[in-house]
Amino acid sequence: MQLADTGQIDVFDVGLAALSGAAGGALSATGLGRTGQAIGNAVISGVSETISQIKNGNRDLGSILYNAGVMAATGAASVIIGGKGIRAEGTPYREGLDTLNTLKGNYTKAVSNPKGFINELNTAINNLRFITRSEVKSTTISFGVSNFLSNFICRVKNNFRRWLVK
């Protein structure tokens, strides 16, 4: 997008965007609810924009705060629009792990009813696989929508600023 927008690639800006994206992706995988993710993504987007503004020579505090605020609001809004992330689908992942761990430590049942134990263990593993697939899919969709919206609004904001200057 940067090459199409400016005709060149700034490695620092690309690295900053990658780092911000990774932080946003990690945040969406934490299991925090929408409020926690919105606050976290607002901070990530605001800090990233502040660093970018200062790196690009903007020394006007009002302008920096305005741009950081727009991107923080965009980051928060994108999470709300994008979805809940890892909590969006089915039984929480933690419950699936707890069930599996409870079975894993149940040696009495394993010895007294091996066939029943194996069936329960297979059921727990399959349930955890289903939960994991659902949650990874939901998290990926949430992250993708959040990043697309954030990038789109950033481009509109930058182009609007260029239009005002002309």
- What is the pLDDT, as a whole number, of residue 113? 84
What is the rounded (10 degree) CA torsion for 131, 134, 136, 140? -160
> Mean pLDDT of all residues in the chain?
76
Does residue 23 have a pLDDT over 70? yes
- What is the pLDDT, as a whole number, of residue 83? 60
Average pLDDT over residues 4-22: 83
Average pLDDT over residues 54-71: 85
pTM of the shown model: 0.57
- What is the pLDDT, as a whole number, of residue 30? 72
pLDDT digit string, tens, across residues 139-157 = 666 666 666 776 677 677 7
CB neighbour burial string for 84-111, b if at least 16 within 10 angstroms, e if fewer: bbbbbbbeebeebeebeeebeeeeeebe
Closest by alpha carbon to 137, among 72, 58, 84, 95?
84
What is the rounded (10 degree) CA torsion for 116, 120, 122, 125? -160
Calculate the alpha carbon distances from 149 to 64, 98, 108, 116 in Å: 21, 36, 53, 49
pLDDT digit string, tens, across residues 100-110 = 778 877 777 77
